[in-house]
Structure 1
Amino acid sequence: MTRETPSILLAAGGTGGHLFPAFALAEELQRRGYPIDLVTDMRGDRYGTGFPARSVYQLPSATPGSKRSPIALGRAGFTLLRGVRRARKLLRNLKPAAVIGFGGYPTIPPLVAARMLGIPSIIHEQNAVLGRANKVLARGAATVATSFRKTRYLDGPLAAKARFTGNPVRDLVIEAAKTPYPPLEPGGALKLLVFGGSQGARFFSEAVPPALATLPQDVRQRIKLVQQAREEDVTAVTAQLSAAGISSEIAPFFKGLPQVMADSHLVIARAGASSVAELAVIGRPSILVPLPHSLDSDQLENASNLAESGGSWCIEQKDLTPLRLATELGKLFDSPDTLITAAARAKAQGQASAVKLLADLVEDVVGRRRA
């Protein structure tokens, strides 16, 4: 009689930065025969039908917020306590062999419940800075998997738990990474991709069109732009670019973004953990504009790490006027060798094997528990 393969429970906040690496791990663990369940919050509902799991669960969770008033802290604490109670009931029913957390406050209830029930857990940190929820959970985790070799705040007793794996990327990204860097031919197309989430889309909608409009006409005629914009901005951005004679495709969302990235000569983006990881694995040069005022400046740390390798250029939003952006783009478009070199250096930083390393780590923990 064969022993049934134990299930694994993944827990992640509802943003792409948390869900995409969880998605990648789910794909890999399913290939290895493990049933997968996911716990997330309401923001993650839009991924429910596409996430590779047999079931997606939602538990009460809350963040204390930036103001951290006594009332806000009390409400958040009460909500998280309700989440822990429901998580304990869920874990007793599912009986997972391990719980893997990917950050965000929605991971606190299931990982706290796992510790109470004696179920081993791993947390994965996507950024170069240990996130606030992961700080809370790290002490009780068996291992802390990291995306960067150095992670701020992962020190003292916690340093002994650190295990570098890299940031897992989805199969779509691994497939896109097979596309060679597009040739830059004299007088040929200059393929530019711009994206950055809702806040990034708003800033880039205001900065990119006027920057491109100031470039010489012969350069503008060569640009093939794909840009993410908020739905309410699409018409205005398209009109500005059309008036400047720039060929563009503007939309709020691009489903096959990894392949669009692979088809580009240059990318302008925020510096979220998944974006940086995907740029590196695919190997595309980028101008990274970290989200200002992000918690613990995690995006600035992410961008700085890739920029130090020569695979990107990090420019803070406060410094990126349309004139500055036009100047930077003009220099890069005039120097194809610079873009080609940056693409190679970005790819050298990519961790395409990250998902396998993290899956191996999960199996180590599951193996110890089964033994």
Structure 2
Amino acid sequence: MTDAPLILLAAGGTGGHLFPAEALGVELMRRGLRVRLATDARALRYSGLFSRGTIDVVPSETLRGRTPWSLARTAVMLAVGTAVSLHLMRRLRPRAVVGFGGYPTLPPLMAARLTGVPGIIHEANAVLGRANRFLSRRVSAIATSLPGVLDRDPALSGKTTNVGTPMRPAILAAAAVPYLAPEPTGTFRMLVVGGSQGARVMADIVPSAIERLDPSLWNRLIVTQQVREEDMARVRAVYDRLGINAELAPFFTDLPARLASNHLIISRSGAGTVAELGAIGRPSILVPLPGSIDQDQFANAGVLAEVGGALRIAQSDFTSERLATEIAALAAEPARLAAMAAYARTVGRLDAAEKLADLVMKVAGI
């Protein structure tokens, strides 16, 4: 195995970047290749495919502002990271470097370009992120999760392949669970997730929306909600007062299974979430994170909304009154929920890891 070709994966230290890298790593290892992960220090807390012995921490810095100090700090850290990555290229001699977005991918992929190693980037969003936009003209190939991302750019579309988002095994297992719409008077299961930048708005809006529902629906509801520790007491107080069957936690380790077991998902629309909702096939109400320079979450949500698999609500319109109206309407129409689940499934790709592995091996000449 030590003589097998090595593929270096580069990803930021968050689940949205690490999970697709892990899924690709699993598939490449199944094909007899070796894999290592170049990332930032956050990934040392990660307990997936990559152990400490297969992780190379590369210094990097996200661009957080336009002040001279911020720009200088980012430039210096990325330069240091590129120097570290050049050493990695000479030591590891990978056949290809695959980046999954985020500023921590810049140093390894720039080092790959400088040393003549083929580079590939994977874009999970419906629009190119800033790091991938910078790298797009400096790599050998581009893989996208969603169709049409670069159709308007002839210089890039020729080296772009739509493969989908590689799915970790837990998502593939959840995708095998068929969607069963709620009975007209039966239990109605609702999952509310927000992520690190979204749980506060869900804590502000969802409990008061549920309070506006007809009490007959309260008795049917089983709510599972991601809630930050600082919001836990106030959210719990509302649900206890209404007699709602609710499970609240800051984080769920078994989120794929929970996605599969609920009738309706209320969530932000990060790339990973949208891809997983499509792969599993579940109806959703999506509230894009506002204020993004690229408006990537708005575009991501549109992919599901345009096929009828989700309702997209801008945060400015995400009021308790609006949400209560939407929940009540969906709960009253099980057939509509089932149709939304089926439409969402048309967007999903379960073979993405295999397709991306094919592309990587082609580019690497393996």
TM-score, length of structure 1 as denominator length: 0.95
Aligned residue for 1:38, secondary structure, equals strand
1:281 Cα deviation from its structure 2 partner: 0.5
Q: Using the TM superposition, name which of 239-248 and 54-63 deviates more.
A: 54-63
**Contact 1:5 1:33 (C-alpha < 8 Å) held by counterparts:** yes
Give the drift of 1:3. 9.2
Q: How far off its partner does 1:158 sit?
A: 1.5
Instruction: Name the counterpart of 1:61.
Output: 60
Q: How does 1:58-137 map to 2 (within 5 A)?
A: 58-65=57-64, 67-137=65-135
Residues in 2 aligned to 1:71 and 1:156: alpha-carbon distance in whole angstroms: 36
Specify the code of the residue in structure 2 equivalent to 1:22. Answer: A
Gapped runs of 5+ residues in structure 1?
none
Residue identity matched to 2:286 = L
In the alignment, the residues of structure 2 paired with residue 121 and residue 250 of structure 1 have an alpha-carbon distance, to the nearest angstrom, of 42
Query: Contact (CA 8 Å) 1:211, 1:323: kept in 2 or not?
Result: yes
Pick aligned residue for 2:284 from 278, 283, 286? 286
The reply on whether 1:225 has 2:252 as its aligned counterpart is no
Kept in 1: contact 2:22–2:48 (CA 8 A)? no
Aligned equivalent of 1:359: 357
Distance 1:349 1:323 in 2: 30
Matched, 1:11 2:10: yes
TM-score, normalised relative to structure 2: 0.96
| Deviation of 1:40 (Å) | 1.1
Checking the alignment, whether the CA contact within 8 Å between 1:269 and 1:289 is kept in structure 2 is yes
Counterpart CA distance in 2 for 1:285 and 1:33 is 38
Measure the CA separation in 2 of the matches of 1:215 and 1:97: 57
Contact 1:126–1:167 (CA under 8 A) maintained in structure 2: yes
Using the TM superposition, give the Cα deviation of residue 196 of structure 1 relative to its aligned residue in structure 2, in angstroms. 1.6
Contact 1:267 1:284 in 2 (8 A): yes
In structure 2, what residue type is equivalent to 1:58? V
Q: Hey, what's the Cα distance between the residues in 2 that align with 1:104 and 1:174?
A: 25
Query: 2:131 is aligned with what amino acid?
Result: A
- The SS at the match of 1:81 is helix
* Aligned position for 1:197: 195
Output the CA distance in 1 between the equivalents of 2:318 and 2:72. Answer: 40
Q: Distance in 2 between matches of 1:288 and 1:124?
A: 23
Is the contact between residue 84 and residue 112 of structure 1 (CA under 8 Å) also seen in structure 2?
yes
Letter in 2 for 1:46: R
Distance 1:3 1:229, change over 3 A: closer
Superposition misfits of 4+ residues, deviation over 3 angstroms = 51-54
Distance (Å, rounded) in 2 between the aligned partners of 1:3 and 1:57: 17
Deviation at 1:184, TM superposition (A): 1.6
For the aligned residues, what is the CA RMSD?
A: 1.5
Deviation, structure 1 residue 50? 2.0
CA contact (8 A) 2:288 2:315 kept: yes
Structure 2 counterparts to residues 312-327 of structure 1, below 5 A: 312-327=310-325
The structural deviation recorded for 1:227 is 0.5
Please tell me the residue identity of whatever aligns with 1:203. Answer: V
Deviation (angstroms), 1:154 = 6.5
Offset from partner CA, 1:16-73 (integer Å, 9 cap, x none):
22112112111111211221111111232221x32345511211111222x3122221
2:160 is aligned to 162
State whether residues 182 and 264 of structure 1, in contact with CA within 8 Å, keep that contact through their aligned partners in structure 2.
no
1:195 Cα deviation after fit: 0.4
Residues 94 and 154 of structure 1: CA distance in aligned 2, closer, same or farther (over 3 Å):
farther
Task: Report the counterpart of residue 146 of structure 1 in structure 2.
Answer: 144
In the TM superposition, residue 128 of structure 1 has moved relative to its aligned partner by 0.6
Aligned residue identity for 1:56: I
For these two proteins, the number of residue pairs brought into alignment is 365
Distance (Å, rounded) in 1 between the aligned partners of 2:130 and 2:187: 44
Which runs of 5 or more residues in structure 2 are unaligned?
A: none
2:232 aligns to what? 234
Q: Are the structure 2 counterparts of residues 63 and 162 from structure 1 closer, same or farther at C-alpha, using a change threshold of 3 Å? A: same
Q: Is the 8 A contact 1:27 1:52 kept in 2?
A: no
- For residue 196 of structure 2, give the secondary structure of its aligned residue in structure 1: helix
Partner of 2:32: 33
Amino acid aligned to 2:32: G
Other-structure match for 2:269? 271
State the alpha-carbon separation in 2 of the partners of residues 76 and 256 from structure 1: 35
Worse-superposed segment, 337-346 or 226-235: 226-235
Q: Is the CA contact (8 Å cut-off) linking 1:280 and 1:347 kept in structure 2?
A: yes
8 Å CA contact retained: 2:184, 2:332: no
Identical aligned residues as a percent? 49
